[in-house]
Amino acid sequence: MRFGQFRLWIIAALLVAGLLLISHSLAGEKVRESVLAGAWYPDNSLQLAKVVDGFLDDPSDVRPKAKNPLRALIVPHAGYMYSGPTAAKAFRLVRGMDFTRVLLLAPSHYSAFKGLSIADVAAYQTPLGTVSLDQVAVQQLRRSPLVSAHTEAHKREHSIEIELPLLQRVLEPGWKLVPVLVGQMDDETYPQAAKLLRELADEQTLVVVSSDFAHYGKRFGYTPFPLNDETPANIQQLDGDAIERIVEGDARGFLDYQQRTGITICGFRPIALLLHMLPVSAELEQLVYETSGQLTGDYENSVSYVVIAVSAQTAIADSQGSDGRLSREQLKILHRIAVAGVRRAVLDDKHEGEQWLRNLPPELERPSGAFVTLKKDGMLRGCIGYIRPRDPLFQAVLKNGGNAAVRDRRFPPVTPEELEGLEIEVSVLTPPRPIAHYEAFKVGQQGIILTKQGRSAVFLPEVAVEQGWNREQTLTYLARKAGLPADAWKDGAEFEVFYSEKYAAPYGSSHETAKE
């Protein structure tokens, strides 16, 4: 080999080696190394697996009462010796489920910033291995000006990492992570961020909110009441009032409570963001409540640990059909208006419920499709509504409340004696949109309209669920309802789908409120 060729070979080899070193360095920078191993939990993989499995194998069986699928969890994030057993009671519920992605919302304890922050890494490291980020989802989020990468905020932060070993032991390998620190938010930012994140919360995604609850004691700078024999009960009451607002899905009430009491729930912003993401039909349930004071016997400084499960019939991403979802309070107003409509028709009182028609939120004055359904002893007693936007929403609910009571031809008019035994359900519909084929119809999640040969029929989303129908059965009964042959849906039919927000309550709940 000539000297010149040898020199070129050496240079090439050095260049390749240099590139490999650079590549290795970049790869290393993109893995967020554990900052908790050896302190918050064991740094040995075998020991850590043993500790976590011990928590998960706890024989106590804590499960939600809700029958709908689990969609989200609120879990604590202290060191494993304190909150590990409590958090494990939440993650035990996930065993055997086919979640392939975890959207993890957590607070920042060490840095202040606005909006959302995702670390500029490819994976998180724990002694149990690496957890890769869902880069497609992360890049989707990064397109929003709400999302940035605050390096300092992620360096020491424990609220994301502490949940990972538990998730690594309950989910099948291969799941991916979307780790989001939630910073300062205002009233306008919450719905914007909720819309952004909601799109990711599909059928295969578990949403996890990482938060401890009240931090009581001088160490935390929070002593709203003195340390005495009543301290444990006072802490529980303080937490309980916050939990009550959370399980009611009342984001505004929860944030107002936090501001009024100063309660040191470190993840109050991620919790409020979750509440903004959820459909009104979501069921939230407190499963576990513990405090470090109970564990140590010392309430001088005590932190509370809570598990709340969120269940919903449909995935969070599929439960909303438009950006203009109504709040729970707005749906309660509509329920009162529906009751007023029923009373106007049954009692022949044209002025009933006028107080609920004044100073309405603008969302209730926009045209919208709406149904009012009456049930008695669990059985249908009347149901009438508009599929397409026709009247302002409040007027549609008022009219259809009266129509459901006295103009549903399938039933005799409701009598005054029946009123107290009624359950009244309001359904607010998104505008119908066409689908190319009936296989695109999401049974139980969407309502559906079938049109063929000048005939049409509609089912609300809950009909298939209540009857236990699959897609074929739903479409068969829908064709029959339209006065068509049972198999008319198979060829030549056109379909539209829509989503629905529901609120149901006994007649008396709104009637009594109206009288106060």
Q: With the C-alpha atoms ordered 339, 342, 345, 347, is the resulting torsion angle positive or negative?
A: negative
* Average pLDDT score over residue span 130-138: 96
443-458 residue pLDDT tens: 888 899 999 999 999 9
* Average pLDDT score over residue span 381-385: 95
DSSP for residue 93: G
Which residue matches tokens 């995604």? Answer: 205
Quick one: pLDDT at residue 71?
96
Residue 29 pLDDT more than 80?
no
Question: Which of 504, 456, 448, 510 lies closest to 479, judged by CA?
Answer: 456
- The single-letter code of the amino acid at 492 is G
**Position with higher pLDDT, 366 vs 415:** 415
Mean pLDDT of the residues in the chain: 89
183-205 residue pLDDT tens: 999 888 998 999 899 989 999 99
Domain residue spans in the chain?
Answer: 28-318, 321-429+503-516, 431-498
CATH architecture of the domain covering 321-429+503-516: 2-Layer Sandwich (3.30)
Residue 1 pLDDT more than 70?
no
Return the C-alpha torsion angle 399, 403, 406, 412, nearest 10. -160
What is the greatest pairwise CA distance in the chain?
109
φ and ψ at residue 471, rounded to 5 degrees: -60, -50
Strands (DSSP E) found in 183-243: 205-210, 215-216
Alpha-carbon span 215 to 265, nearest angstrom: 7
CB 163 within 8 A of CB 94: no
CB 435 within 8 A of CB 409: no
**CATH no., domain 28-318:** 3.40.830.10
Q: Could you give the C-alpha distances from 256 to 76, 114, 299, 330, in angstroms and in order?
A: 22, 19, 26, 17
DSSP for residue 413: P
Percent of the chain having pLDDT more than 90? 71
Question: Which of 290, 307, 129, 336 lies closest to 208, judged by CA?
Answer: 307
* Average pLDDT score over residue span 258-274: 97
431-498: which CATH topology? Answer: Dna Ligase; domain 1 (3.30.1490)
**Position with higher pLDDT, 366 vs 396:** 396
Alpha-carbon span 231 to 169, nearest angstrom: 36
Give the pair of three-digit tokens for residue 205.
Answer: 């995604």
Alpha-carbon span 282 to 66, nearest angstrom: 10
Percent of the chain having pLDDT more than 70? 92
Quick one: pLDDT at residue 324?
53
Residue 379 pLDDT more than 50?
yes
Give the pair of three-digit tokens for residue 106.
Answer: 């957590």
50-69 residue pLDDT tens: 999 999 998 887 899 888 89
Query: What stretch of H or E contains 274?
Result: helix 268-277
Which residue matches tokens 């910073």? Answer: 183
Question: Which of 23, 267, 34, 29 lies closest to 131, judged by CA?
Answer: 34
Q: Using 50, 70 and 90 to split pLDDT, how confident is the model at 325?
A: low
Give the pair of three-digit tokens for residue 274.
Answer: 């979750």
294-316 residue pLDDT tens: 999 999 999 999 999 999 888 88
386-430 residue pLDDT tens: 888 889 999 999 999 999 999 999 999 999 999 999 999 999 998
Residue 21 pLDDT more than 80?
no
Count Cβ atoms within 10 A of the Cβ of residue 150 and give its class: 0-12 exposed, 13-18 middle, 19 or more buried: buried
* Average pLDDT score over residue span 144-160: 95
Question: Which of 486, 429, 414, 423 lies closest to 459, judged by CA?
Answer: 429
